[in-house]
Amino acid sequence: MQTDNKFFDDLAKLGQSAVGTLHGVKGEVEAMIRARMEHVLQDMDLVTREEFDVVRDMAKAARAENSELTKKITALEQALKAKKTKSSST
């Protein structure tokens, strides 16, 4: 009976050792994959989130300014047309 317990104890220790080793290998593989992905992403020359947000805000401001200028131009064209109509009728 004693040898059976020793055998199972050794088998359990071996299993624990294998699990620990696999866990370490898993961590190393994840680190290697993460490093490789970071390298690939750096080579792609992507923008950061902060840079994207700044450019997006600039585009929003430019669209708003463009809309205001369009309204002003339309108002000036109408005023010019009204002035021409008024001056040609006199």
**Polymer length of the chain:** 90
The H-assigned helical ranges of 1-90 are: 2-43, 49-89
Return d(Cα 32, Cα 24) in angstroms, integer.
Answer: 12
Question: pTM of the prediction?
Answer: 0.49
Whether 3 has a pLDDT exceeding 70, the answer reads no
Q: What is the pLDDT of residues 26-48, one digit of tens each?
A: 889 999 999 999 999 888 888 89
**CA 68 distance to own-chain centroid:** 31
Alpha carbon distances (Å) from 38 to 16, 33, 53: 33, 9, 21
